Amino acid sequence: MKFEIKVTQDGSATIYLNELDEHYHSTFGAVQESLHVFVGAGLGAVTAKEVTVLEVGFGTGLNCLLTMIAGQESRRQIHYVALEKYPLSMQVVDQLGYSSLYPESGAQLFSLLHTAPWNRDTTMNAQFVLHKIEKDLLEIVPAELPLVDLVYFDAFSPEKQPEMWQEVIFGMLYERMKTDGVLVTYCAKGVVRRTLQSVGFQVERIPGPPGKREMLRARKTGEQDPLVG
């Protein structure tokens, strides 16, 4: 697809896909959105010191980079599993400039997370292991996914990618989530909230990032034991 690199309102870049008329990140601030929706409302809501994260939509790698940095700062052990059917080329990645946002720790890490091999664990540093899978959730067999504490649901919007927001998708995520696990998404649409609830999640609307009034955070509650396998 044809794309453009665009600078968002907080000075960080995003990708605009012409054919989809869709941005990878909020035009109000790519970094602000990632920190608010995923690192803050997601990672910040999980209390475990060892956290398994599943990102649906690796995309630019921004959520991964910021989670890596947050893990270093908080000394948490993070196993980060990322799904992406259409990886970006390094030519595109280099144009984003994210490494310059965090020159002390981010520059080398950002390059490494994009060059890390697919479909196996790669140790990025003492606290962060990355496992990228070159598929989307529509192709995944549930047993391919580990049991997770946290899901970053960062697919394109329901209008642009409706197949990713189906009940069967959220049902699979619910099954692969540990009890008290958390799912966060930038989307606050009523139909998404109801779909999450229909598969068993407890869902709350919470304040969204700049430019967006609300977002959704869902939690798997109850006394059931996590799925084994």
| Chain centre distance of CA 71 | 15
- What is the pLDDT at residue 186? 97
Which CATH superfamily, name and number, covers 26-219? Vaccinia Virus protein VP39 (3.40.50.150)
Q: Is 82 helix (H, G, I), strand (E, B) or coil?
A: strand
User: Could you tell me the residue ranges of all domains in the chain?
Assistant: 26-219
- What is the pLDDT at residue 224? 46
Q: How far is CA 175 from CA 12, 84, 179, 215, 224, in A?
A: 35, 20, 10, 22, 11
Chunked mean pLDDT (size 10), the chain, 229 residues: 90 92 94 97 96 96 94 93 94 87 71 92 94 94 94 95 96 96 97 97 96 96 49
- What is the pLDDT at residue 111? 85
- What is the pLDDT at residue 84? 95
pTM: 0.93
User: β-strands 177-185, 148-153: how paired?
Assistant: parallel
Tally of CB atoms within 10 A around 86: 10
Dihedral sign of CA atoms 118, 121, 123, 128 in order: positive
- What is the pLDDT at residue 19? 86
Residue identified by tokens 């035009």 is: 27
